[in-house]
Structure 1
Amino acid sequence: MKRFGKLATAAVVVIVAAGAGYYAWLKLRPPGLPAGIISTNGRVEATQVDISTKIPGRVIEIVPHEGDMVSPGEVVTRIDTSETLAQLHQAQASAELARQTLVTRQAEVASDDAQLNFANEELRRTSTLVSKGWSTHELLDQRNQQLKSADAALKAAMSQVDEARATVKTADARVEELQAVINDSTIKSPVEGRLQYRLVEPGAVLPPGGKIATVIDLNDVYTTVYLPSAQAGRLKVGNDPDAARLVIDAYPDYIFPASVSFVAPESQFTPKTVEVQSEREQLYFRVKLQKPPGVLKGMEEQIKSGLRAVAYVRLDPAVEWPAGLAVKLPSVDEQAGK
């Protein structure tokens, strides 16, 4: 009898536990969706930006570590510029010398111009004297020759000024080129995001275009889902933020809006995450559900590529979203407290 009593007690406990579990499942299961809205599992992703070096050189510093947040314009890497810096100083000295030479050539032009004016005046006076018989034609010929020589000297000096100006421009261009190389040696992040990978370490020598790090652009976050052709064919690609809803597993209290930004032009097999064999044998289309700009403001450090989410997609624009899927974003206080 004691054994029978224990078995009966255990059975009652199992029945009660099963009932409680069933009741909890009923309370927590998602509400039924209206026709025209479907749900599917998805994966949060973000655009990956490869940060590369424009110039060849040795990496002397990589500031952020993997997982660190970076802002637009924040320094990520520095390339050794000791050799380029020496070339820049030499180019700056050459540019300064070219400017001094230009000043000298311009002074020579002023002097030759004065000589030409003097030769013109001498020719005028001599011509007057010859016309009155007070001077010889030989002297007049000499004055003409002096005028031609002065004119030729002035033209030569002006040509040298043009050459000096060109030399200054060439020297300045060389300075700008080397300065640009030095500026490019400090590599900054073009986007706001999280450093995903450091592909090299300080001391590495990179060629032009060598990759240094990969940053996840948290201003370009989307969720990838896979839908069968019957559903994917009804989607309208555009910027309508009311086309979908997203509930991220890590933050189930919030409901984010999303638009359909991409539908693959070709079908493919369902990913391995779909466990049902009949579904795996079907061809599905990859769909990107884009989050509107600013929706994740303040949650950049919480949102990570690879998080799982449940996506609700509206196939029929005429269908109203149920109250349970109304957009719910974190408040400023909630963001500050995370």
Structure 2
Amino acid sequence: MSSDRPASRGILLALCLTMVLAGCREEDGTAATPELRPVRTVVVAESFAGESFTLSGTVESQIEVDLAFRIGGRLVERLVNVGDTIAPGQIIARLDPADEENALRGAEAAQIAAAAQLSEARSTYERQRQLFERDFLSQAGLERAEQQFTSAQSAFDSAEAQVGIARRRLADTVLTADAPGVVTAVGAEAGEVVTAGRRIAQLARDEGKDAVFDVPAAVVAVSPPDPEVVVTLALNPGITALGRIREVAPRADASTGTIRVRVGLIDPPDEMRLGSTVNGRVHIGGSGGIELPASALTTMDGAPAVWVVDPDSRTVSLRPVEVARFTPAAVGIDGGVAVGERVVTAGVQALRPGQEVRLLGEGS
């Protein structure tokens, strides 16, 4: 009897401990609340696939002309300098006009002499014609008078033409601008003897500005036909203008392998002065779509899927998606999610459908 009592006491003690532990477990189970799973998310936004290229270039005038004399001579005066703003008809430079003035006086004298000879020949012809009509002159005499009159008329016309040439050459000793613009370079100084066609000043006309870039041939090959180019001022990126490709050189530069591309600027700001350094950015090879971080992708029955967060309940649901393309850091999505929805990007492996989550970061 005495040996059975310690055994009975041990059994009773074990039963009591078991009941106490069971009660604690039940009490803990009713009082515990499910833990919110922390996750990181992004808001789905439309993006563009492809690649953006940025190149450096300069601002130039769409039309630059060299102003030059049509005749040669000694330059006596140049009235403009680099940076001057020119109005139409403004005088650029002058040549020494002495030779042209003398030539004009000689041509005018020859014209006066030819006019006198023409007048005399006309009078002679009229008299001979009247005599011929009265039968006092033979047919041969009338023809000689008519021939002399015709020769005098031709000599007068030639002299008149020489006067016109001499006057134009005298006018050509003064060089004027035919359009408004800005002087970008000069080519001769007063006192020099210049030949016909030598540049006296280079004028950038006020007819638009170009951003000029030397573009690698590989970029030109994959560029769309008419891309929109965003041009920013290098010293102040906040100053921007849009542009369209206006001209592409037909051949690459032999030394650099690049192709000269001129981008016409649309309403460029005044800060984009001629010669300014600019950066041009163009997006190549892209199409509209949705891109998500690669970490957002998981599987559902062996197919790609993502976890989507309900904005009201903050619970997650697994949704299949159609993947269009893969990159090392992102995936392109063709369907399954819409712009504005929130997708989990970190913690996707520890989620279950309907689980409530706590957002660690918000972004797009």
Which TM class, normalised by the smaller chain length? 0.5 to 0.7
Deviations 1:192-229 (A, max 9, x none): 33222332222211122233222334535322224334
Selected match of 2:192 from 204, 210, 222: 204
Cα separation, 2, equivalents of 1:252 and 1:178: 56
CA contact (8 A) 1:264 1:287 kept: no
The alignment's TM-score, normalised by the length of structure 2, stands at 0.58
Is 1:155–2:171 an aligned residue pair?
no
CA contact (8 A) 1:58 1:205 kept: yes
TM-aligned CA deviation for residue 311 of structure 1: 0.9
Cα separation, 1, equivalents of 2:152 and 2:262: 60
Residues 235-274 of structure 1 mapped to structure 2, 5 A cutoff: 235=223, 243-249=228-234, 252-260=237-245, 261-263=247-249, 265-266=251-252
Partner of 2:101: 85
Compared with structure 1, are the counterparts of its residues 284 and 166 closer, same or farther at alpha carbon in structure 2 (3 Å cutoff)? closer
Partner of 1:308: 277
Structure 2 residue ranges without an equivalent (≥5)? 1-46, 290-364
Selected match of 1:287 from 236, 249, 261: 261
Deviations 1:37-74 (A, max 9, x none): 43332222335432222211111211112211113432
Structure 1 residue ranges without an equivalent (≥5)? 1-31, 120-145, 271-282, 321-338
Compared with structure 1, are the counterparts of its residues 114 and 101 closer, same or farther at alpha carbon in structure 2 (3 Å cutoff)? same
Selected match of 1:44 from 47, 50, 59: 59
SS in 1 for 2:223: coil
SS in 1 for 2:134: helix
CA contact (8 A) 2:233 2:272 kept: no
Cα separation, 2, equivalents of 1:81 and 1:61: 12
Q: Larger strand proportion, structure 1 or 2?
A: 2
Cα separation, 2, equivalents of 1:289 and 1:319: 24
CA contact (8 A) 2:228 2:282 kept: yes
The alignment's TM-score, normalised by the length of structure 1, stands at 0.62
Partner of 2:300: none
TM-aligned CA deviation for residue 102 of structure 1: 1.6
Compared with structure 1, are the counterparts of its residues 181 and 213 closer, same or farther at alpha carbon in structure 2 (3 Å cutoff)? same
Partner of 2:114: 98
Is 1:213–2:201 an aligned residue pair?
yes
TM-aligned CA deviation for residue 285 of structure 1: 3.6
- AA at the equivalent of 1:245: V
Compared with structure 1, are the counterparts of its residues 51 and 259 closer, same or farther at alpha carbon in structure 2 (3 Å cutoff)? same
Cα separation, 2, equivalents of 1:114 and 1:196: 69
Compared with structure 1, are the counterparts of its residues 314 and 191 closer, same or farther at alpha carbon in structure 2 (3 Å cutoff)? farther
TM-aligned CA deviation for residue 95 of structure 1: 1.3
CA contact (8 A) 1:76 1:187 kept: yes
Deviations 1:159-191 (A, max 9, x none): 111111101111011011111111211112344
Compared with structure 1, are the counterparts of its residues 253 and 34 closer, same or farther at alpha carbon in structure 2 (3 Å cutoff)? farther
Number of aligned pairs? 241
Compared with structure 1, are the counterparts of its residues 319 and 157 closer, same or farther at alpha carbon in structure 2 (3 Å cutoff)? farther
Residues 99-248 of structure 1 mapped to structure 2, 5 A cutoff: 99-119=115-135, 147-148=137-138, 151-219=139-207, 221-235=209-223, 243-248=228-233
Compared with structure 1, are the counterparts of its residues 255 and 195 closer, same or farther at alpha carbon in structure 2 (3 Å cutoff)? same
Q: Larger helix proportion, structure 1 or 2?
A: 1
Larger Rg: 2
